[in-house]
Amino acid sequence: MCRTLTAFPTTCLERAKEFKTRLGIFLHKSEPGSDTGSVAKFEWGSKHSKERNFSEDVLGWRESFDLLLSSKNGVAAFHAFLKTEFSEENLEFWLACEEFKKIRSATKLASRAHRIFEEFICSEAPKEVNIDHETRELTRMNLQAATATCFDAAQGKTRTLMEKDSYPRFLKSPTYRDLAAQASAASASLSSCSSAEPSRT
């Protein structure tokens, strides 16, 4: 079990703080003033156990795209990377679809469906995603009787595009490679500090 922060040597705490700082720098590389309201914010726990868990979380992002998307911090990091490639609309659309599926009110469902379509799908939309004409028209037809699945085809195409194109570049980016190295080092340091701490009786 992880001990509290005060139980660890100063060198361990300094290493953890350095890791936290580097994570903050990475996640704030995106351009200021952009709308990221639908994107999960970076979360950093105050407890030592969360530092260990976050290190494991960072290293898990390279295991699969699903693990990345299931992590709030992974989504925030991936979004920051996509902004450097000017393709953040793909992830924002995917996230909007995930939230859309949770709506239970038929009235709200129809209203939100049209907003998503206008923002991401229609021609010359402010955050137009890269999908083929057939998928665009299928989605347009689905809006005539909006259901929780009306964006499934477009969302699937966008997800595949991110997984096959953007995700591999994210993993190969110097920033993520450095972040993963820091996570490995922090995890090893925390384990070392934990095992080196004198036992109490």
Q: Can you tell me the distance from the alpha carbon of 45 to that of 56, in angstroms, rounded to the nearest whole number?
A: 14
Which residue segment(s) compose the domain that 118 sits in? Answer: 88-163
Q: Looking at the structure, tell me whether residues 95 and 134 fall in a common domain.
A: yes
* pTM score: 0.73
In-domain check, residue 1: no
Q: Looking at the structure, tell me whether residues 102 and 158 fall in a common domain.
A: yes
CB neighbour list of residue 82: distance below 8 Å, 6 or more residues apart: 88, 90, 91, 166, 170
| DSSP secondary structure string for all residues of 164-178 | IIIHHHHHHSHHHHH
| DSSP secondary structure string for all residues of 99-165 | HHTT---HHHHHHHHHHHIIIIISTT-TT-----HHHHHHHHHHGGG--TTTTHHHHHHHHHHIIII
Q: Looking at the structure, tell me whether residues 153 and 98 fall in a common domain.
A: yes
Q: Letter for the amino acid at 75?
A: V
Q: What is the CATH number of the domain that holds 113?
A: 1.10.167.10
Burial of 148 (0-12, 13-18, 19+ CB in 10 A): middle
- Taking only the tens of pLDDT, the chain with its 201 residues reads 344 334 444 454 455 555 555 555 555 544 434 443 445 455 544 444 455 577 889 999 999 999 999 999 999 999 999 999 999 999 999 999 999 999 999 999 999 999 999 999 998 999 999 999 999 999 999 999 999 999 999 999 999 999 999 999 999 998 899 889 988 887 776 555 655 455 544
Q: Looking at the structure, tell me whether residues 73 and 21 fall in a common domain.
A: yes
